[in-house]
Amino acid sequence: MKVNKIMALRLMLTAALVVGVTSCSKNSSSKNASSATGWKINDKKGGFQYNSNFKKQETAPGLVLVEGGTFTMGKVQDDVMHDWNNTPNQQHVQSFYMDETEVTNIMYMEYLDWLKRVFDPEDDNYRNIYEGALPDTLVWRDRLGYNETMTNNYLRHPAYASYPVVGVNWIQAVEFSKWRTDRVNENVLEREGYLKRDAKVTDAKGESTFNTETYLNAPTKTYGGNEEIVLKGKRGKSKDSTNLYAQRTSGIILPEYRLPTEAEWEYAAASDVGNREYNLYRGQKKYPWKGNYTRSGNRKVKGDQLANFKQGKGDYGGIAGWSDDGADITQSVKYYPPNDFGLYDMAGNVAEWVADVYRPIVDDEANDFNYYRGNVYMKNKIGEDGKAEIVTAETIAYDTLANGRIMARNFPGQIAQVPIDEKETYLRQNFDKSDNRNYRDGDKQSTRYFDFGSSEEGEKVDDSKRMYDSPKHNVTTDSLGNMVRRFDKSSKRTTLIDDNVRVYKGGSWRDRAYWLDPAQRRYFPQDMATDYIGFRCAMSRVGPKSDGKKKARN
C-alpha cells in the first residue's frame, strides 16, 4: 500500500510538471505575448499595441513588384556620343514596386479634377494650385509643323485617355506622386474603418483634406480637425484608449509613391533577371527585351517592332497600311509586350523623368547601395505651441519657376517643412547638412578653389567659383505685381548643368533606337516640359527582399 501511494504521488507531480511546462511554452510562444517582457501585446486595457498579424506589404494600385538585386549600371552597348556620360559600375538596388505603365492622361486628369473640386480656382488663395498643375499643352507646337490637333485634344480627349501624359515637368510629376500617396492611403483607411465612408468625395474641401503625414503625426488635425470624419478606432466604435488611430505599427499605411531613382529605373528597364542562370547573368541586354534587334523574333509576330520609336529621318511609324510600330506620336500603354519584370514601355513611347539630379558621373566610390543623388533632408516645422504646424490657405508657399510658372510648394492640410539643422546632424558620420545634391561633385570641396584647412572651409561657394557655372535666370515681380523675367545673357557660362536639371531615361517616339538602351541617360531642366517626356511612379518595399526564400539549386 505504501509503495502504491508513493507511485501515485510521483504520477501527480509528473503530470503537474508537464502541465506547467506546456503552459509556459504556450505563453512564451504566443503571438500576443512579448518575448522581451512577457507582457500581453494588444491588450484591450492598454499597453503596447502592434499589428502582430502582419503578413506582407499590400501591392498598391497600378504597381508591380520588382525584386531587387545587383547589376552593372551605366553599361551601354553603343557610345557614338563619346561624351563620358556613362561609366559601368556595380550597384545594388533594394526591392521596390513600380508602375506597370507610364502615367496616362486619364490618371493625370483625375488629379486635375480633384484639385479643381477641392481647391476652387475661383478662390484667390487657391488659384495657382490648379493652374500650376496643368500640363503644358503648347509643347506640341512647332514653328514649321501643324500639330494643333494634339495641342487641343491630346490631354483631354477620350481617344487619348490611355496614352502617356506629356507636357509635365519634373516638379509636377513629384507633386502628382505626393497626391497619389494621400489618395491611396485615404482609401485604405476608409476601407479599414478609420475614416468616415465617402468623406473623400463628399467632405474634401479647401482646408478639410487628408494628408498621410498629417494623419500620422497629428491625426486630430486631419480634415481640418473634423472628428466626424477622422474616427477614433475602427468605425468610431472604440470604447477604450487603444487603437484610436492607425499608425505605422498598424501595417496598413503604405509608403509614399515617388519617382524612381535612376538606378531603380535602369535596373527595372534592363530586367537582366530574364538572362539569369543560377546566380549569374548570362550577358546583358541591349534593350529591355532579349536580342540585339528592335523587331520580334517570335514566330507568331515575327518582324513586329517591340517599341515605339523613330525609325529614321521622317519615319515615325512606317508607311500607310503596313505600319512598323503602330504609332506616329505616342501609343496607348500596354500596346507593346512587357519586359521580364512585367513592365510596359520601358523603351520607347515616352522617355521618363527619374528622381536624380544630373551629374556626368555616377559616384560609385561614395555609394553602391540604392544610389541616388538628390537628397534634401527636411523635417516637420514645429509651431510656438510645440506641435506640428499645419499649412493653411494663408500660409501656402508658392515658387516662381525660371520660366515664370507659379507652383504651390505645399497644400492646406499638409505639415509645413523646414530644413534639418544641427540637432539632426551633430556628430553624425553619414550626413552633415540638409542639401546633399552637390556632395563630392559641385560643392566647394570638389572645386579647384578648395583650400583644405583654410578659414573658408565649409562656407558657401562664391558665385564666381562655382564648379558648374550654369546660367542663372531670374523671375521677380515689380511693385505693381507684374512679372519681370531676367534672362541670363552672359557669354561666360560654361555648362547647362546645375542642381535644377534632372535625369530622364529611355527613348521616346521622337528618338532613334540608340536611346532605347536602358543605360543611356540624358538631362533636362526640372521646371520645363516637352512632348516626349512622361513619367511613372515607384514605391519602396518594406520587409523582405522577396516573398519566398531562394535556394541555390533554383
User: Which residues, 6+ apart, have CB-to-CB distance to 50 below 8 Å?
Assistant: 41, 42, 249
Radius of gyration of the CA atoms of the chain, in A: 28
Cβ–Cβ < 8 Å for 349, 333: yes
Whether 187 and 334 share a structural domain:
yes
Residues 296 and 343 both lie in one domain? yes
Predicted pLDDT at 242: 55
46 vs 53, 239, 240, 412, CA distance in Å? 18, 12, 8, 34
Residue 28: its pLDDT value, please? 43
Q: What is the pLDDT of residues 383-395, one digit of tens each?
A: 988 999 999 999 9
Q: How far does the chain reach from its first CA to its final CA, in angstroms? A: 66
Do 369 and 470 fall within a single domain? Answer: no
Three-class SS of residue 186?
Answer: helix
Are 109 and 384 in contact by the 8 Å Cβ rule? The answer is no
Sign of the CA dihedral 205, 210, 211, 215? positive
Q: Cell 514601355, residue?
A: 345
If asked whether residues 154 and 179 sit together in one domain, one would say: yes
Please state the domain count of the chain: 2
Residue with cell 516640359: 529
Q: Which residue reads 550626413 in cell numbers?
A: 431
pLDDT in tens, the chain (554 residues): 455 655 665 666 565 555 554 444 444 445 688 999 999 998 888 888 888 889 899 999 999 999 999 999 999 988 887 877 888 999 999 999 999 999 999 999 999 999 999 999 999 889 899 999 999 999 999 999 999 999 999 999 999 999 999 999 999 999 999 999 999 999 999 999 999 999 999 999 998 999 999 999 999 999 999 989 999 876 665 555 556 899 999 999 999 999 999 999 999 999 998 888 788 888 888 999 988 899 988 888 888 999 999 999 999 998 888 878 899 999 999 999 999 999 999 999 999 999 999 999 999 999 999 999 999 999 999 998 899 999 999 999 999 888 888 999 999 999 999 999 999 999 999 999 999 999 999 998 888 887 766 655 555 667 778 889 899 888 777 777 677 888 888 888 889 999 999 999 999 999 999 999 999 999 999 999 999 999 999 999 999 998 877 776 65
Domain interval for residue 488: 464-498
Q: Environment class of residue 275 by beta-carbon count within 10 Å: exposed (0-12), middle (13-18) or buried (19+)?
A: middle
In a domain, 42, yes or no: no
Query: Domain containing 369 — which CATH number?
Result: 3.90.1580.10
Residues 402 and 470 in one domain: no
311 occurs within a structural domain:
yes
Q: Are 402 and 494 within one domain?
A: no
Note the pLDDT of residue 292.
Answer: 87
Tell me what pLDDT residue 484 has. Answer: 82
Asked whether residue 448 is domain-assigned, the answer is no
The predicted pLDDT at position 21 comes to 47
On whether both 189 and 300 belong to a single domain, the answer is yes
User: Is residue 19 assigned to a domain?
Assistant: no
Model pTM above 0.85: yes
**Considering the domain boundaries, does residue 17 fall inside one?**
no
Distance (Å, whole) CA 511 – CA 531: 12
**What is the maximal distance between C-alpha atoms in the chain?**
116
Specify the 3-state DSSP secondary structure of 445: helix
The residues, any chain, with a CB within 8 Å of residue 292's CB and separated by 6 or more, are 77, 286
What CA–CA distance (Å, rounded) separates 265 from 284? 16
Q: Does 173 reside within a domain?
A: yes
Q: Could you tell me if residue 454 is inside a domain?
A: no
Q: Is 40 part of any domain?
A: no
pLDDT score for 214: 97
Same domain, 260 and 249: yes
Q: Are residues 491 and 514 in the same domain?
A: no
What SS3 state is found at 8? helix
Residues 257 and 363 in one domain: yes
375 and 494 inside one domain:
no
Going by C-alpha positions, the residue among 284, 282, 304, 279 that lies closest to residue 294 is 304
Give the pLDDT confidence score for residue 27 in this predicted structure.
44
* One domain for residues 176 and 217: yes
343 alpha-carbon distance from chain centroid: 16
